[in-house]
Each structure stands twice: as C-alpha cells, then as structure tokens.
C-alpha cells in the first residue's frame, strides 16, 4: 500500500472549518497501483487547497518526499462522492507519468520562481522592519527631550 501523504496545510490557506474538524468538501487522490491496478489513497485536502477540482487530463505535480523532486500524476477519472450526510467531495484517480521533460521543467521553473518571490518578500519585510525600528528610535528620542515651555505673552 502506498504511503499516504500527510495533510499539511498550505501556506496562506484559510480552512473553512475549525481546527480538528473534517472539511465539508474535500478532494481525495488515489493512485493506480502499477502491479495490480488497485487504488491506493495518496492524500486528502480541503477543496480550497486546489481552488477548483482538477479535471480529467490535468497533471498534478506533487513533492516526492521519499525520492525527492516531484512525482507527476495525470487525472484519469474523477468521481463526486456524496456521503449522504453533510460531507461531500471529489475522488480523483491519478496515474503516475514520466517526470522527465515538461513536468520536470515546470517543477524546476516553479521552484525557482518561488525562491525568487520568497527573496523579494524577505527583502520587503526587512525594509519594513528597518523602517519600524527607525520610527521607534525617533519616538524614544522625542520622549527624552524636555517638554517645551509655553511662550509668554
């Protein structure tokens, strides 16, 4: 059985349920085992993680924590599952595809861009921090000055 990928919250995502609650709408992914064609669950995320439900033919690139790099999967089927209670979701049947070529290039370009934008954000935070410290120092200096004497008429 494939190892299920942990449901790690995505940075900047806002869950629609309180912590510890199951999402009302989720997307679960299953891989097709090469040996016997059985389905093995890969992961389960709140719908909001994807923004929309991937369609048949879409390629999903996921970080491969075991081998490093990425593992690309193509969506072969999708099923809407209504559990009959308040929970619903999409089950995506994925098939692993060759990571070389365009999937690998997209992964590398994506990560380079992420690194670039993270650096830009770090620089902006550092600039804001420096500006804040300067303003704070100015306020401290201003409070050390003796109060002005009122003018005589």
Summarised one tens digit per residue, pLDDT across range 6-45 is 444 444 445 555 667 888 899 999 998 877 889 999 999 9
- Do 122 and 66 lie in one domain? The reply is no
Q: Structurally, how many domains does the chain consist of?
A: 2
Q: Is the pTM of the predicted complex or chain greater than 0.75?
A: no
Exposure string over 48-72, b if 16+ CB within 10 A, otherwise e: bbbeeebeeeeebbeeeeeeeebbb
- Domain contains 19: no
- 27: helix, coil or strand? strand
From 16-30, 68-82, 95-109, the region with the lowest mean pLDDT: 16-30
Question: Whole domain around residue 119: which residue ranges?
Answer: 100-143
């Amino acid at each position: 059985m494939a190892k299920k990928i942990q449901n790690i919250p995505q940075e900047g995502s806002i869950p629609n349920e309180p912590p510890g609650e199951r999402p009302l709408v989720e997307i679960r992914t299953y891989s097709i085992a090469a040996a016997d064609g059985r389905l093995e669950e890969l992961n389960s995320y709140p719908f909001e993680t994807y923004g929309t439900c991937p369609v048949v033919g879409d390629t999903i690139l996921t970080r491969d924590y075991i081998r490093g790099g990425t593992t690309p999967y193509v969506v072969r089927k999708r099923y809407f599952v209504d559990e009959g209670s308040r929970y619903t979701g999409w089950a995506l049947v994925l098939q692993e595809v060759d990571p070389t070529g365009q999937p690998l290039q997209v992964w590398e370009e994506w990560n380079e861009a992420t690194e670039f934008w993270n650096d830009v954000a770090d620089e902006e935070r550092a600039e804001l921090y420096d500006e804040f410290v300067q303003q704070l120092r100015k306020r401290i200096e201003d409070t050390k000055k003796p109060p002005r004497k009122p003018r005589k008429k």
